[in-house]
Amino acid sequence: MRYVLIICLSLLVTCSAIAQQQVDICIYGGTSGGVIAAYTARKAGKTVLLIDPGKHLGGMTSGGLGLTDIGNKYAITGISRDYYRRIGQHYGKFEQWVFEPHVAEALFNDYVKRGKVDVLFSHRLSSVKKSSGQIQEIVLEDSNKSSAKRTIRAKMFIDCSYEGDLMARAGVSYTVGREDNSKYNETISGVQLMTGHQLPDGIDPYKTPGKPESGLVWGVSPAKLEPNGTGDDKIQAYNYRICLSSDPANQVPITRPAGYDSTRYELLVRLLATQPQKQSLNDYFIWSGMPNKKTDINNRNGFSTDMIGMNYEYPDGSYEKRAQIIRDHELYTKGLLYFVGHDSRVPQSLREQMLKWGYPKDEYTDSGHWSPQLYIREARRMVGAYVMTQANCEGKEVVTDGVGMAAYTMDSHNIQRIVIEKDGKKMAKNEGNVEVGGFGPYPISYRALIPKESECRNLLVPVCLSASHIAYGSIRMEPVFMVLGQSTALAAVMAIDAKTSVQKVDITKLQRELKANPLADGSTPEILVDNENQALTKVTGSWRVESKSKGGYGPSYLVYEGQDAGMASVRFTPEIVKAGKYHVYAYFPRLAKTASELGVTVSDGKTSKSIAIKPAEIVVVGQTSGEWVSLGEYELPKGQTSSVDIAVKQTDGPVVADAVLFVLVL
């Protein structure tokens, strides 16, 4: 009996050891931001555990969102920028912002491997233990077997999930939905009935047209239209960013999904009937091409891949409720693809176009060639130490504790589909879509990434950060989540080292470290000389500053529209900190009209090389404002003797001088 007790006690001790883990920093959510946060913390020498409820890293970046939403490349810094440079290397370019899902995921796995990050897959949050304003430990459950528990203790926690589960379980204040305009003195939060991604007038909302007693067609809500700017707890639509292939050798056919119901697409039938001239897939989907004959398909116009109004219970829903919502979205989307390709009510030309596509054999091979990641555009949003609002986006309020930038349009997808009356006729309309931009990159406050000190002192939240609905619509981009993941990880490291709370971190020191060590590995930072830096640029001739267009790199660029060829130029002079071989690039925005040729001269202070640039030959790829153009590699001495001159050579169109980049060749 004694030996039996000893064995039992040994097993108990062993099981207890397996079920518990202690690390410096625990990161919940294997999203793009989560991976970069984990990599950053490990590079700083801390022990790290990265936890993901699923089986794949990268969130939406590896889940189909290959047409990266950027806004302005200037805002994408540090390891986030490095990520897109490495994507570029895969495709034989300097950097690239469009890519295949499996390429994106492989690169996230590479960061984890190079950083020696400990990753725990298929585990989700069960409970949080908090004491004296700090998270002491979290209890996880196996995503497939909730009875299997595991305890993680850490000094610092970072919630990188799209849902904000750790934040919520830790008792941190948050909100769901959209604020009333009056809440933060905004103009485009709350209810917004706009024209973008809208149904045309006159589409009948009833099962039997003209007969309200027949009931509403699928997807139309009986809710009434509230006054413009009214707040509510409704959520902008989710969808799948769909990867398909047009390569017959790499296709799995789009078949009728189990549970298919063609009545879900009745509004689409009516939409097709109102616009018979629209016969392209691009009239009904944002059908963006990806490398190797693939796509990133997104929502477009009045009826598309967005499953409007079907996600309200997701943010605060149980795991079971969320799983049901995810299944419903998958069925709706697969059914939509099948419907467009096979239903006789769809014009034949559209059906024929759809039938050229199939699911890609080489993507999502363990989930039926379908993305395992639903696009959770917005769920919970923390109400933290500072709330980012419309005023921040528009530059009317500028924070000084910025640890990352955003630059995208204030964007919300539709939130509900309702019945309105216009000119005495009832019709279906979408409500909630907002697309308001025209502003440059702006800083994101560190205080928007941390809770109020009274609520939690060892938690950072870079994804479900503290922002109003409409400000979040500008910030919520995957590259920005990576930037903020890096910033919060470094802040967590600094808090541990200083034995203090995340609220007491030295922000100036954090900002300085992010700038001095952007890749978190001690490598020499690249050198950017932007036209905004007047100390490092010399302008000859009458150039004007263009700051309203978002085509440039950073807040502005210089434009010459005169007639004095050879008399106007801009010189960019870098401060070379370390002598060596540098690859030099010049940035050229996407413009409707430019000069046919301009001259560039690169000098190391002793010798010069002249290069003729033809802007019309510069191909801008993806949802971006311009491209870096290689000027070659040069041995550059330490100091300020090197320069790059952009000169007017032809006056048959505008000439642009924007930014020059010097990248040390290793």
CATH number, domain with residue 540: 2.60.120.260
Torsion of CA 616, 617, 622, 623, to 10 degrees: -20
Asked if residue 332 is part of any domain, the answer here is: no
CA distance 141 to 428: 44
Q: What is the pLDDT of residue 548?
A: 79
Against a cut of 0.85, is the pTM above it?
yes
Q: How far apart are CA 430 and CA 209, in angstroms?
A: 18
Q: Is 230 left (phi over 0), alpha (psi -120 to 50) or beta?
A: beta
| Under 8 Å between Cβ of 65 and 91 | no
Output the pLDDT for position 299: 98
Return d(Cα 530, Cα 57) in angstroms, integer.
34
Q: Is 465 contained in some domain?
A: no
Nearest Cα residue to 162 out of 60, 266, 51: 60
**Residue 3 pLDDT:** 44
Residue 412 placed within a domain: no
Which residues of the chain register pLDDT less than 50? 1-18
pLDDT of residue 15: 43
What is the 3-state secondary structure of 300-337?
A: CCCCCCCCCCCCCCCCCCCHHHHHHHHHHHHHHHHHHH
- Alpha-helical (H) ranges within 128-253 are 165-169
The SS3 assignment for 520 reads coil
Note whether residue 247 is domain-resident: no
Residue 628 lies in a domain: yes
How confident is the model at residue 623, as a pLDDT? 82
Kindly state whether residue 365 falls inside one of the protein's structural domains: no
Range of the domain at 628: 527-664
* Contact by Cβ (8 Å): 37, 482: no
Residue 419's DSSP bridge partners are: 428
Residue at 372 is within a domain: no
Written as one string, the DSSP assignment of 556-614 is -EEEE-SS-TTT-EEEE---BSS-EEEEEEEEEE--SS--S-EEEEEE-SS-EEEEEE-
Q: Indicate the number of domains in the chain.
A: 1
**The predicted structure's pLDDT at residue 666:** 84
User: Is 635 within a domain?
Assistant: yes
